[in-house]
Amino acid sequence: MTAIDIQGIRRLLPHRYPFLLLDHVEHVEAGENVTAIKNITANEPFFQGHFPDYPVFPGVLLVECIAQAAAILASETIGVEASQDTLYLLAGINRARFKRFAVPGDQLRITARIDRRSGKLWRCPGSIRVGESLICEAEVLFTHKVLE
């Protein structure tokens, strides 16, 4: 099991501000599972419009947090770092459920595991909790694409 700081995350994912959502990876066990952290702050750019008087972390970005954690897991599993030649592309979202709002001040604990891998297609169920409360769960499907 390995922890990964923000510099390590930047080496593994091609995302950058404002779309790099993960702050820290608590642990990743290649081929098995990952636990990552996202600290929600009031100055996130999307809160200007979602919603200014009651800032709520967008559900679609909750699913993106799961997808980014799963991509970290895939990167560690196959030993690939981010580059101009490699991308992880979302291929599908199954069984997404949102149980409660996430708001500024919350710390998201994102977990994902590999359920199935077929060639370059990965299926990873994941969940997000704040403390003991389940916020979101979804199964993400994505592909590892090597650009030519």
pLDDT digits (tens, 9 = 90+) for 124-140: 999 999 999 999 999 99
Q: In which domain, by residue range, is 113 found? A: 2-146
Smallest Cα–Cα separation from 88: which of 124, 37, 130, 115? 124
Q: What is the CATH number of the domain that holds 53?
A: 3.10.129.10
Strands 121-130 and 107-113, bridge-based pairing: antiparallel
The catalytic site residues sit at 50
The sign one gets for the Cα dihedral 36, 74, 29, 59 is: positive
Question: Has residue 75 got a pLDDT over 70?
Answer: yes
Least confident of 33-37, 49-53, 66-70, 112-116: 49-53
Question: How far is the C-alpha of 68 from the C-alpha of 74, rounded, in Å?
Answer: 10
The total domain count for the chain is: 1
Categorize the per-residue pLDDT at 148 as very low, low, confident or very high, splitting at 50, 70 and 90.
Answer: low
Question: Has residue 84 got a pLDDT over 80?
Answer: no
